[in-house]
Amino acid sequence: LILEAETQFKESSTKLAAEQERLREEMEVQAELVAAERATAEEEKQRQLEELERQRSELQQLEEEKKLLEQRRLEEEQHLTQERQADAARAAEERARLAAEADTQQAEIEK
């Protein structure tokens, strides 16, 4: 009976040791999976941060281009306004010259 109990104890101990080893290996595998998932999550987070930085940089560049285009538009508008003013001044001078000419001709006709 004692021999049988010892045998059962040894078998149980061997089974228990094997089960403990299996569980230890399973925990190692689970730890590796968790580490791999964390690494993948970190890589994805880093990729997303890089994408956000790229988009922010692109947006900043577009805003700078928009400012330059607006500045050019304002300069062109100012230039056109100056041209219109110069044209209006020349037209007024021409009208004044023609009016003076007409007055001179009228005065000669009246003589």
Cα 49–52–55 angle (5° rounding)? 150
Tens-place pLDDT, residues 18-64: 999 999 999 999 999 999 999 999 999 999 999 999 999 999 999 99
Query: Using CA atoms, how far apart are residues 55 and 62, in angstroms rounded to an integer?
Result: 10
Helix, strand, coil distribution of the chain in percent, nearest 5 = 100, 0, 0
Checking if the pLDDT of 1 tops 90, the result is: no
Query: Using CA atoms, how far apart are residues 74 and 81, in angstroms rounded to an integer?
Result: 10
**Collapsed DSSP state (helix, strand, coil) of residue 111:** coil
pLDDT of residue 110: 86
Query: Using CA atoms, how far apart are residues 29 and 99, in angstroms rounded to an integer?
Result: 103
Q: What is the residue range of 63's domain?
A: 1-111
The two three-digit tokens of residue 90, written as one number: 């020349």
Mean pLDDT (the chain) is: 96
- Look at the chain and report how many structural domains it folds into: 1
Checking if the pLDDT of 92 tops 80, the result is: yes
